[in-house]
Every structure is written in structure tokens, then in C-alpha cells.
Amino acid sequence: MSDINTLTSALQQAGMRITPQRVAICELLTDVHDHPTAAMIYDDLKPRFASLSLATVYNTLDALVQLGVVNALGHAGDDTVHYDADTEPHVNLACISCCKIIDIESEHVAHLDAEITTASGYKLLGARVLYYGLCPQCQKKQAGTTARKK
């Protein structure tokens, strides 16, 4: 998991000013585990920073992704990009019904990185493994809905 210093240092090295708003974006990314969207970050921080713009959130996130310290996971059935400050090898599971994304640790992902590096000669800078499906809660909801229809 990237920490606040890693994120802010990366922004600084990219020539971006380290404003209180950008620090707050970095803090939120490192403190949460629910893979927020840009809109979620904006909604969470706007009450604290009246001058915060959605463009600042997007520009900061784009820079962090380009610098390799945050992953953009793509959408989880909600047509919105979710972000993850945990760039260590792991699996993300996305529910296409409630759009929740969780992390699953897997030793196989680390082995896959080594295999790919050996086979390709690439210096890997990061990877994403994202599975889509239905979480246990949404499966129960669907089973309840199906049972009532019969």
C-alpha cells in the first residue's frame, strides 16, 4: 500500500504543487480500502475545502496513476473508474450489482509477476488483476427476489 509520503513525493517530483487539497486526496486514498471514484473523493473532501474542484481531483488522480503510485481499476458495473493506492500484487473482486470492490491477497499473483518478468524480460511497474462477479450479499438478494417470484 502506498503511503501519504510516497504519493505526495511523487506529485512533487512531477512538478505539481503540494496543496492542502492534494494532500487530502492522497490521505483519503491511503486511508480507505473501498476503492473510491473521483466523485466519491470530491464529495468526501468538498465540505473541508470549499475551493476544491472536481478537475483538481481528476488531475491529481491522473498524475498519481501516471506515476505508478495509484492504480485505476476501471468500473465495477457503474461506468466509473475506481482508484486503489495499494499497488502491491493482489486481486481485486468487483461486484457488478452493488459496485463494491474488495482486495484479496494471493501468493499466486506474486508468482505470476516473476513468471512474466522471466518470460518477457520486462521490468514490471505494476499490474492489475480484477475479477467481476456477484458478492455474497447481492447473491442472497437475487436468490430472495427469485424465490418471491415463484
- The C-alpha cell 505539481 sits at 16
Report the pLDDT value the prediction gives residue 34, as an integer from 0 to 100: 85
* Chain Cα centroid distance, residue 116: 23
**Cross-strand pairs, 74:** 82
d(CA 93, CA 100): 8
Which residue type occupies 47?
Answer: P
Is the CA virtual torsion 47, 48, 51, 55 positive or negative? Answer: negative
Is the pLDDT at 148 greater than 70? The verdict is: no
- Cβ 49 vs Cβ 20: under 8 Å: yes
Contacts with 149 (C-beta within 8 Å, 6 or more apart), sequence order: none
Which pTM was predicted?
0.82
24-65 pLDDT, tens digit each: 999 999 998 889 999 999 999 999 999 999 999 999 999 999
Mean pLDDT for the stretch of residues 144-149 = 68
- The C-alpha cell 511523487 sits at 10
85-140 pLDDT, tens digit each: 988 888 899 998 988 899 988 888 878 888 999 999 998 877 778 888 999 999 99
